[in-house]
Chain A
Amino acid sequence: MRRRAMGLWTTRYAPQSLKEICGNKGQVDKLQQWLHDWSDSSKCGFKKPGRDAMNVCRAVMITGPPGIGKTTSAHLCAKLEGFAPIELDASDACKWDEHQQPVVRWMDGWVETMRQTQQESESPIRRVSSWTKSTACPLVTGGVGALNAFIKTKIPVICIANDRGAQKLKPLIANTFGMTFRRPEAQAVRSRIMTIAYKEKMKIPANVVDQLISGSQSEIRQVLNMLSTWRLSSSSMDFHEAKNLAKINEKYTILTPFDVTYKILGPYAFGPNVRETLGDKMELYFHDHSFVPFLIQIKHTENYLKTQPVKVRNLEGLPKMLKQLELMDQAASSISDADLVDALIHGTTLVIDAIACGVFDGGGYGGQNPMTFPRWLGQNSKQNKLSRQLGDVQVRMRLKVSGDKHEIRQSYIHALFPHIVKPLIDRGAAAVDDVIERMDGYYLSREDWDTVVELGVDTQKDDVVNKLIKPTTKTSYNSTDHPIPFHKARDLRKVPKKLLGGPAPDLEDVFDLDDEVVDVSDDEKKKVKDEDEVAADKLFQTSKPKTQSRKGKTTTVKGKKAQNFM
């Protein structure tokens, strides 16, 4: 007890029993039960699912935001079930080397030691349970593989991670039982914090504690740390102090673009009683400055039609219809404006968008619309894909055809349709030879045929067409030889050439060059005599950008003067 009194508050008041853990009660119980049954399930080869269907898994993966008691509950459950926990941090391994090899070796070493320990400790109860924490620093793929192998041993493994969706955890998810921990509710945390404050002889009212909790987003660890530092100077705290303290200790976590979007477009983001200032909202934008404005823009565009503007609520019948159309028109054109602004100055869109939204809905947005994944992204990637495929088709046809991509799409596909697709629908396998002859004439391959079909819309839509053609007729293409216009670089294993993409010339640079060229053309008349000037010109080209920019400035001044004269 005395030793505990010396430690940090977080260790001093670490939960000693399951009762003291805040929130996630059900999950913790499940975890304990699983550990309890582990040796039995191991004996029967993990065949019996048990009450929670957890006993078929050799390992559990706990995911959730930081500071909500994942590690604590894992430790506690292990101790209660008689395991000696060993904690392993995957990020330690990553620090050593970025290559996979050492990580795997490191893991192997671990497994070895584990086996030894296991042999030494004869009693079956004193097993070891190991933690692998793959937090911010993700496991290297090899590491996950090694961990997967490790899971197969006779040790229960609890993996702890923050982000379940992380790509690198994919292989683990298949082998483990997923368990998500949520942030506990403010009330659950409040009582615990109040108890601790009381024990530490601090006088803190409930609303102040609430402020601290909401400020740290229910992160118990952080609240305790804040309180312990505060305790050094004072034993009471009022509301404003709490607010400031929370503000100071605010973690600058990077929100995902979707979270940000939700915050901005969420319920009453522009209502009359919002505490966040416009500045705060603009700050949200910097969480992901390239994607957020974009996402918001898409969200607006896709959602504005589904909401009912406040202004038409009192109207009925035809006037309502007209008014609504009018408002829709305004919204649509303001979105169009926003896109133009975006094209000019990337970044201010958010403000304009957000304000445009506020003006339009007047707080009636209500957040009833579920946040769906924007369609624009899907459509855009489809467009890119098809456009690339169309490019391939165009290049193959190029030896015979003069048109560009768009011409191929707009005229040729329509013209080729009766020759290469229609016969297959009408005559089936009998038409294959004709079709192939036609395709060879334009060097089209089997994939290009697919592209031609895929590009169709309306009655020539790909699924409509593909339904009409028997799949067997399509396979006969590969049985004969076909001319090829060229080999793809990919097939020839060409080594790609690196582009020395220096920073693109900005507008000032362009202006600079412009002037330079004008100068040269002016000088053209007296070009004959001065070869020295050419040398000077060369020198000028090799000179540092600094001088260039200076020159640029002088020329701009000149340019202005010239304008004035005119």
Chain B
Amino acid sequence: MSLWVDKFRPKTLDDLHYHQSLSIRLKSLAASADFPHMLFYGPSGAGKKTRISCTLRQLFGSGVEKLKIDQRVFISPSKRKLEINIVQSNFHIEITPSEAGNYDRVVIQDLLKEIAQTQQVDLNAKHRFKVVVINEADSLSRDAQAALRRTMEKYMSNMRIILCANSTSRLIAPIKSRCLLMRVAAPNPEEMQTVLEHVAKKLKFDLPEEASQQIAEDSGGNMRKALLVFEALKMQSPDLSGSLTIAKPDWEIYCHKVADLIVQEQSPARVLEVRAKLYELLAHCIPPTIILKTIAERVVERVDEAMKADVMHWAAFYETRMRLGNKKIYHLEAWVVKVMSLYKHFMYNFDMADFE
């Protein structure tokens, strides 16, 4: 018993509902003898992974769906044990290098060499090569990326690499130039609505137009989120009519609370309070970028028109710094203090003008 989003995931390229031109291209690529290295990129919930697995199926047939997980253990030079999880079928292998932390370069080299040096044993296989899917490719360290370049060329006869990333900005140019870039854009609301209707049809119930519209708008182009919300709503009110309130995830509500704290009061004590909350969010595995984005959006909603641009400007400023730096909390806090200071000054000037 799984959730709808996983139950109704398209299995073949023909089943996909949007980005038809992309599907056609993928199909013809899979049919040609010369399948390239590929880089899928786009926001999360757009359907990158789905497209990758569909492409793999197109390449090798239903055999790729027989997945198994294998855990490998490595010992790093500093005697730390690294457990790397590998998802694989007979035809492909999927790795998440961020599990290896600082040692991603050596781990990837080791794994790729092993795959590249073994030939496909299955004589009925449609292709001689195996496919390596690298998840979260944008979290690859520079070293690992540099090491990957040579491997991509050297083992071309036995192996193809499919990278999957949210954005290409963290990938070095040589990697990008060795891949066929596949942008999977977020679906627009209409496309999302067709998917939602498709799911409703499969489950044999009626989906009111307003409900699907509301879900599509709320999820901001994230198909996964839309489907999960859809299911939650269906559980709440089975007929999906009337005014629907979409429950926000726990962390989002928490972020909003932080934003409210910032707007309500500006003092050192308040900063401390906010810091405690930020720590809490970070410790519970919410990525700092998401935190900053959610809080900033909420703050912008609540402040005066004249301040909105500034708040966003500084959010962007500290977001970059966060990516460059090591300790995310400092930059988050710097932004919080900046906004507080701005807000207070703004209010102060405003007050004065009023008095005069």
Decide if A442 is an interface residue (CB 8 Å cutoff): yes
Stretch at the interface among B20-28, B65-73, B124-132, B181-189: B65-73
B267 / chain A contacts, CB cutoff of 8 Å: 321
Give the residue name and chain of the B residue nearest to A458 (CB).
B254
A142 / chain B contacts, CB cutoff of 8 Å: none
Segment 208-252 of A: residues with Cβ below 8 Å from B: none
In the docked arrangement, what's the CA distance between A380 and B162, Å? 33
Stretch at the interface among B56-64, B206-214, B237-245, B275-283: B275-283
With A403-B49, A417-B250 known, 19 other A-B pairs at CB within 8 A are A306-B272, A329-B337, A332-B333, A339-B331, A340-B321, A340-B324, A383-B282, A387-B285, A411-B224, A411-B225, A413-B249, A415-B228, A457-B251, A457-B281, A486-B70, A489-B73, A494-B72, A499-B82, A501-B106
Stretch at the interface among B29-37, B135-143, B192-200, B296-304: B135-143
Residue from the set B283, B287, B336 with the largest chain A CB neighbour count within 10 Å: B283
Q: Is the CB of B250 within 8 A of A460?
A: yes
B82 / chain A contacts, CB cutoff of 8 Å: 499
In the docked arrangement, what's the CA distance between A404 and B134, Å? 12
B285 / chain A contacts, CB cutoff of 8 Å: 383, 386-387, 390, 405-406, 409, 455
Q: Is the CB of B146 within 8 A of A510?
A: yes
In the docked arrangement, what's the CA distance between A85 and B250, Å? 67
Decide if A267 is an interface residue (CB 8 Å cutoff): no
CB distance from B164 to the nearest CB of A (A): 9
Q: Is the CB of B337 within 8 A of A437?
A: no
Decide if B312 is an interface residue (CB 8 Å cutoff): no
Q: Is the CB of B284 within 8 A of A400?
A: no
Q: How many residues of A contact B (CB 8 A)?
A: 82
Decide if B180 is an interface residue (CB 8 Å cutoff): no
Segment 319-356 of B: residues with Cβ below 8 Å from A: 321, 324-327, 329-331, 333-334, 336-338, 340-341, 344-345, 348
Segment 461-507 of A: residues with Cβ below 8 Å from B: 485-490, 494-501, 504-505
Segment 299-321 of B: residues with Cβ below 8 Å from A: 318, 321
A305 / chain B contacts, CB cutoff of 8 Å: 268-269, 271-272, 275
Given contacts A343-B324, A514-B174, contact A456 B228 (CB under 8 A): no
Q: Is the CB of B44 within 8 A of A406?
A: yes
In the docked arrangement, what's the CA distance between A329 and B110, Å? 47
Of B85, B326, B329, the residue contacting A342 (CB under 8 A) is: B326
A191 / chain B contacts, CB cutoff of 8 Å: none
Query: Chain A, 296-319, contact with B by CB distance < 8 Å: what is the 0/1 string?
Result: 010001000110000000000010
In the docked arrangement, what's the CA distance between A510 and B142, Å? 9
In the docked arrangement, what's the CA distance between A391 and B282, Å? 15
CB distance from A459 to the nearest CB of B (A): 7
Query: Chain B, 225-256, contact with A by CB distance < 8 Å: what is the 0/1 string?
Result: 10011011001000000000001011101100
Binding site for B on A (CB under 8 A): 297, 301, 305-306, 318, 321-322, 324-326, 328-329, 332-333, 335-336, 339-340, 342-343, 375-376, 379, 382-383, 386-387, 390-391, 395, 398-407, 409-419, 437-438, 440-442, 455-460, 485-490, 494-501, 504-505, 510, 513-514, 517
CB distance from B17 to the nearest CB of A (A): 16
A-B pairs with beta carbons under 8 Å apart, 28 shown: A305-B275, A321-B344, A326-B345, A328-B341, A329-B338, A335-B330, A335-B333, A336-B321, A339-B331, A342-B325, A376-B327, A390-B285, A402-B50, A415-B228, A415-B229, A417-B250, A457-B250, A457-B251, A458-B257, A459-B250, A460-B250, A489-B73, A490-B83, A494-B72, A497-B75, A498-B74, A499-B110, A504-B143
Of A407, A441, A458, the residue contacting B1 (CB under 8 A) is: A441
B75 / chain A contacts, CB cutoff of 8 Å: 496-499
Binding site for A on B (CB under 8 A): 1-3, 5-6, 9, 44-45, 49-50, 53, 67-77, 81-83, 85, 87, 96, 99, 103, 105-107, 110, 135-136, 142-143, 146-147, 149-150, 174, 222, 224-225, 228-229, 231-232, 235, 247, 249-251, 253-254, 257, 266-269, 271-272, 275, 279-287, 290, 318, 321, 324-327, 329-331, 333-334, 336-338, 340-341, 344-345, 348
CB distance from A313 to the nearest CB of B (A): 15
Q: Is the CB of A335 within 8 A of B96?
A: no
Q: Is the CB of A486 within 8 A of B71?
A: yes
Given contacts A395-B85, A501-B106, contact A418 B232 (CB under 8 A): yes
In the docked arrangement, what's the CA distance between A440 and B69, Å? 16
Q: Is the CB of A438 within 8 A of B283?
A: no
Of B150, B249, B266, the residue contacting A410 (CB under 8 A) is: B249
CB distance from A25 to the nearest CB of B (A): 44
A505 / chain B contacts, CB cutoff of 8 Å: 143, 146-147
Q: Is the CB of B345 within 8 A of A322?
A: yes
Q: Is the CB of B341 within 8 A of A501?
A: no
In the docked arrangement, what's the CA distance between A437 and B2, Å? 9
Q: Is the CB of B344 within 8 A of A322?
A: yes
Given contacts A411-B224, A497-B74, A510-B146, contact A399 B338 (CB under 8 A): no
CB distance from A501 to the nearest CB of B (A): 4
A513 / chain B contacts, CB cutoff of 8 Å: 146, 149-150
In the docked arrangement, what's the CA distance between A404 and B82, Å? 19
In the docked arrangement, what's the CA distance between A272 and B69, Å? 64
Q: Is the CB of A325 within 8 A of B73?
A: no
Given contacts A335-B330, A339-B330, A415-B231, contact A410 B290 (CB under 8 A): yes
Q: Is the CB of B318 within 8 A of A336?
A: yes
In the docked arrangement, what's the CA distance between A279 and B281, Å? 40
In the docked arrangement, what's the CA distance between A321 and B348, Å? 10
In the docked arrangement, what's the CA distance between A500 and B331, Å? 36
